[in-house]
């Protein structure tokens, strides 16, 4: 079982999804907030189960997905 990255700004997001964000150059919640949910779902390794986790992480710092 893969360990979750507890130092990630993206909460308890799985490693494949975290790699998808990193490969797209998204390393902060501020950067993530400039993308729509649809754009994020297009990233290889990102699944629908990741969106609630990302939404929650954004909401905790007063941000949201674009659009």
**Spatial CB neighbours of 1, under 8 Å, sequence gap ≥ 6:** none
Supply the pTM of this predicted model: 0.85
What token pair was written down for 2? Answer: 């893969």
- What's the CA gap between 28 and 8, in Å, rounded? 9
Answer whether 3's CB lies under 8 Å from 12's CB: no
Mean pLDDT of the chain: 91
Q: Fold for domain 15-60? A: DNA polymerase; domain 1 (1.10.150)
Domain boundaries, the chain: 15-60
pLDDT of 1 reads 46
Compute the average pLDDT of residues 11-36. Answer: 95
The predicted pLDDT at position 8 comes to 80
pLDDT band at 6 (very low <50, low <70, confident <90, very high): low
Residue 5 pLDDT level (bands cut at 50, 70, 90): very low
| pLDDT score for 11 | 79
């Amino acid at each position: 079982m893969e360990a979750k990255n507890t130092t990630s700004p993206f909460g308890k997001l799985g490693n494949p999804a975290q790699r998808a964000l990193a490969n797209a150059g998204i390393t902060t919640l501020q950067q993530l907030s400039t993308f729509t949910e649809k754009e994020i779902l297009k990233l290889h390794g990102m699944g629908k189960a990741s969106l609630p986790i990302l939404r929650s992480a954004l909401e905790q710092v007063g941000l949201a997905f674009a659009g």
